[in-house]
Structure 1
Amino acid sequence: MGDSPRDWSTPLPAAVTAWPPPRGVKVAPACWVGGDASQYQAFFKAVLREGGEDALARIWNDAPRRLGARWTRWFRPGMPMHATGSLEEGGGGRRQHGFLVLARAALLALGHPLVV
């Protein structure tokens, strides 16, 4: 459980490394809202089965995203996610922004202290 991203670096496909780097450096773990680890693992495993090792998974983030904001954010330390431009109304009046994240890296992050 004490592994750092440097201990298990996940090579990123060219489609992901071409994304502009997010601002700053993420040091806090990603935080899921609702569901549990087994549900998230099942979701990312299904994305990998359907799309292969470099498959991108669509996830939702309710953090504010202003007009003109960068298209990438940090998903977990060392792993960017890319805004799709999709927007939906979420629970509690918070808007949900669609992002793409590398499914393989997201699945690995669930087994480390990088997603809570």
Structure 2
Amino acid sequence: MDVPPRDWPPPLPLVVTSWPPPRGVKVAPARWVGGDAPQFRAFFEAVLRDGGEDALARIWNDAPRGPGARLTRWFCPGVPMHASGEPVPQRDGRTRHGFLVPARAALLALERGLVVRRVRPVEDA
């Protein structure tokens, strides 16, 4: 599915339109840590295959999320993500927070250059 520039952001699933709007407007691309473009694509394509065109993918974000933080943030420009309420403590003392993002929109964002892949730094064993 190709979305012409004038049609960005892509149509979002109905459930996403009921999310509270994220604060501000994100202009920077999303950062996908720990994989390359084929890995990113495979992950979201599997979510779509299993859940259909309106599927939401669960991703993990290590940005701090305090008690007063908004539930909905920007994944990339034009695509929101919503906190799923699943904090997971990590060995390094940080906490990763579960978010839901529209899988189809995430794939289109990759094709438009709105997602930057970054290799995860080597962690201490």
Same fold (TM over 0.5): yes
From the superposition, tell whether residues 31 and 5 of structure 1 become closer, same or farther in structure 2 (CA, over 3 Å).
farther
Alpha-carbon contact 2:8-2:78 (below 8 Å) kept: no
Q: How many Å apart are 1:23 and its aligned residue? A: 0.5
Higher strand share: 2
1:2-60, Cα deviation, whole Å (9 max, x unpaired)? x9964543101210011000111000000111111111100100000010000000000
Tell me, yes or no, if the aligned pair for 2:73 and 2:81 is still in contact at 8 Å: yes
- Does residue 49 (structure 1) correspond to residue 40 (structure 2)? The answer is no
Question: Which amino acid in structure 2 is aligned with residue 42 of structure 1?
Answer: A
Q: Structure 1: which 5+ runs fail to align?
A: none
The residue type equivalent to 2:94 in the other structure is R
Aligned-pair Cα RMSD in Å: 1.8
Q: CA deviation at 1:100?
A: 0.2
Distance 1:29 1:7 in 2: 18
Counterpart in the other structure of 2:83: 83
Amino acid at match of 1:75: F
- Percent of matched pairs sharing the same residue: 72
The amino acid that maps onto 1:30 is A
Q: If the length of structure 1 is used for normalisation, what is the TM-score? A: 0.90
1:34 aligned partner? 34
Return the structure number with greater helix share: 1
Q: List runs of 5+ in structure 2 lacking aligned partners.
A: 117-125
**Computing the radius of gyration over CA atoms, which structure comes out larger, 1 or 2?**
2
Partner of 1:64: 64
Aligned length: 114
